[in-house]
Structure 1
Amino acid sequence: MTVAPLRFGIWALVHGPRAAHQDPEEPYDASWERNRDLILAAEELGYDSTLIAQHTINPHQEDLDQLEAWSAAAAIAAQTKRIEIIAAIKPYLYHPVVLAKLALGIENISRGRFAINLVNAWNRPELEKAGIGFPEHDARYAYGKEWISVVSRLMEGERLNFSGDHFNISDYALRPTSLYRKRPAIYVGGESEPARDLVAGHGDVWFINGQPLDDVAGLIADVASRPRGSAPPLRFGLSAFVVARETRDEAQAAHERLLSLAAKDAPMKAIQKQNTDPKVVMMQTMQKTPRVGSNGGTAAGLVGSYDEVAARIEAFHAAGIELFMLQFQPFEAEMRRFAEEIIPRVRARQSTGPSQRNARSLG
């Protein structure tokens, strides 16, 4: 399998800290201003992408602030020059015609740097309290598959006639389409069987939640083997929380500090668990090992010395991961540390190649 060039991205802080909410080094701030400044700094530091998660209400605690993803994505598109902007979308919240139009608008504001991250919902109150309802897991994915097929074809400029279980669309076309490429990219999250089927048929990139290398390699092998028709080969991204220091012991101490702080969020996590569909594979995976961060967090193993973390990233890349969507805490300081200490090491390792490194270690 040919792996695309390695890219690094950051999770926007749309609902506050990623590891622990009671950290004196990371005061709660989900404001537009904080997220704008964070993404502009990431672009300046050389990060390639940002993911803006979508929630209408805060998934951890309803009285906490929550940034709106799509208005923020449009605003940041106008203020950046290079970084890819990925906005998550839950299909039940937007009709596909409306969402496709929004996506094309941000695509052209950004000059071809926009992408959709399709997420088929896990937070029950977000839909139930709005009167939308919260269908069973596989039914949500069936809806999402029909939804994205409509969105994708409209974004490509097709004059669409569509009749399905959920949507009936007659002689509908959107203009302008993307002025820079065929359409915005489509990322898909979820690891259940319906999710794998959906991404194989309709996605460009599969977002995998943080977990050990062997597990990730198995997931990639499974989905990469599925039929894609005439579509290009699927690409792969990984969510991961990073704790890197000069030495392994320093990194472990920093990780233990975050674990201790995260334990204080137990009441909040209990509410989140109660509100989550138990069939969501992400939540099942996250129970396997102690970790901090969302979407798998430190389960990906990017905790250690600078050299250890760089080597693990290279191993994931060799297994097929193209994009690392990263979390840190405190975010700005650790994002800068990663850019200054880890990214150069990864690039250096890639430029030397494994044979040269092995020869050097034997010398």
Structure 2
Amino acid sequence: MDVLWYLTGPDGRYPWREDGARPLNYAYFQQIARAVDHLGYTGALLATGIHDAWVLGSSLIPYTRDFQFLVAVHPPLVSPTLLAKMAATFDQFSEGRLRLNIVNGDAKQLAAYGVHLDHDARYAYTDEYLDVFKRLMSGETVDHAGTHLNVQGGSLQLPPHQRPHPPLWFGGSSDAALDVAAKHIDTYLTWGETPAAAEAKITDLRKRAAEHGRTDLRFGVRLYVVVRETEQKAWDAVADLYEHMDEESIARTQAGRAGSDSVGQRRMTALHGGSRPADPRELEIHPNLWSGLGLVRNGPGTAIVGDPDQVEARLREYADAGVDTFIVSGMPLLEEAYRFGELVLPRLPVDRTRGEDVRGTWNTWNEGWKK
């Protein structure tokens, strides 16, 4: 399996609060990246956050060796031709360590960048965008006049290190999202719903992919983890987090979601309902799966809680449901990378192979490029 960590701010013991957030700088990100690399993780997700994911990722290439960079991409914010150039450059410089996380976001988020597309239009845009992107990465000169894109004479002058292109990752829970994933995506990601809910999505996606003649999809889940040497210590750590989830932080987080058209976010919110019960264990929605972080964190809001045996058991339960990729994290990122890396990671069959596609030597690709 692939096991990735997380490399995106904000961070700290209680990053939803000013007095619990940690100052972030380049040296700190170097620390996290180096820890993830030497502890044996497959790599890390560089998600949409307070720093630009491309600048952050490219700056960390020389500080890592095997670390796979899963870098967030918002299709409407960069042309497919420019993305192809950026991706090929990053992939060459990192010697095949790039993966692309295609993010559609929501209407409210993209409006801040001047993009105004409704929910289904965003996925129609992404479908068209990925068609063009993959043609460019294959070495084709592209003329494309579509509903959303008009590319004339688009081409890429250098081949990527991974062929036919760096692997494409993607998340989304709506029908429109699942259709795009079935057609284009190498690894589909879901947020931390229960294993049964994940299995239902996987079954659905496999059927949709088969309609495109595809049987090679992989599946991943994004989760937080609170692991300690004993179950009691793990739930004590949850109690500490919960104690610092003040009403102001909860209200601010919930208000920030107002107007979101993300189906995945609605599903995460439904797991806790926006309310804070007196006992945090009331938000345990499945054995060892706690939804409380969703009160103060946007996006994925569930955490596996327990001792190493319990955490491993839950991960393997997801694996039995069809998941082979895990993006996990804890707070703070650095300390919890070590904790999970020492208590749980050695128990898992982690794939440290660079890249996911068959590739040959640079000279072989270069000779065959654009023939």
- Do these two structures clear the TM 0.5 threshold for a shared fold by scoring above it? yes
Q: Which residue of 2 aligns with 1:288?
A: 271
Q: Is the 8 A contact 1:297 1:327 kept in 2?
A: no
- Whichever residue aligns with residue 161 of structure 1, its letter is D
CA distance in 2, matches of 1:107, 1:18: 34
Q: Which residue of 2 aligns with 1:106?
A: 90
Structure 1 position 237 matched with structure 2 position 225 = no
Taking every aligned residue pair, what percent have the same amino acid on both sides?
27
Structure 1 position 249 matched with structure 2 position 232 = yes
CA distance in 2, matches of 1:33, 1:89: 24
- Whichever residue aligns with residue 329 of structure 2, its letter is Q
How has the CA–CA distance of structure 1 residues 133 and 175 changed in structure 2, closer, same or farther, with 3 Å as cutoff? closer
Q: Which residue of 2 aligns with 1:47?
A: 41
How has the CA–CA distance of structure 1 residues 18 and 145 changed in structure 2, closer, same or farther, with 3 Å as cutoff? farther
CA distance in 2, matches of 1:12, 1:250: 25
Q: 1:318-337 alignment to 2 at 5 Å?
A: 318-337=320-339
How has the CA–CA distance of structure 1 residues 208 and 345 changed in structure 2, closer, same or farther, with 3 Å as cutoff? same
- Whichever residue aligns with residue 17 of structure 2, its letter is Q
Q: 1:31 deviation in Å?
A: 2.7
| Range with bigger deviation, 227-236 or 46-55 | 227-236
1:32 aligns with one of 22, 26, 29: 26
| Range with bigger deviation, 170-179 or 242-251 | 170-179
- Whichever residue aligns with residue 295 of structure 1, its letter is G
How has the CA–CA distance of structure 1 residues 192 and 244 changed in structure 2, closer, same or farther, with 3 Å as cutoff? same
How has the CA–CA distance of structure 1 residues 128 and 296 changed in structure 2, closer, same or farther, with 3 Å as cutoff? closer
* Number of residue pairs aligned between Structure 1 and Structure 2: 327
| Range with bigger deviation, 96-105 or 176-185 | 176-185
2:324 counterpart SS class = strand
TM-score (norm 2): 0.82
Q: CA RMSD in A?
A: 2.2
2:133 counterpart SS class = helix
Q: 1:206 deviation in Å?
A: 0.4
- Whichever residue aligns with residue 260 of structure 1, its letter is E
Q: 1:1-363 alignment to 2 at 5 Å?
A: 6-17=1-12, 20-22=15-17, 27-55=21-49, 66-122=50-106, 124=108, 126-130=109-113, 132-228=114-210, 229-231=212-214, 233-263=216-246, 265-274=249-258, 276-289=259-272, 290-292=291-293, 294-298=298-302, 302-347=304-349
Q: 1:123 deviation in Å?
A: 6.1
1:36 counterpart SS class = helix
Q: Which runs of 5+ in 1 are unaligned?
A: 1-5, 56-65, 349-363
Q: Is the 8 A contact 2:170 2:187 kept in 1?
A: yes
Q: 1:15 deviation in Å?
A: 3.1
1:86 counterpart SS class = strand
How has the CA–CA distance of structure 1 residues 192 and 219 changed in structure 2, closer, same or farther, with 3 Å as cutoff? same
CA distance in 1, matches of 2:213, 2:143: 22
Q: 1:133 deviation in Å?
A: 3.5
Q: 1:136 deviation in Å?
A: 1.3
TM-score (norm 1): 0.83
- Whichever residue aligns with residue 139 of structure 1, its letter is A
1:277-308 deviation line (CA, Å, top 9, x unaligned): 23432233233134215533325xx1111101
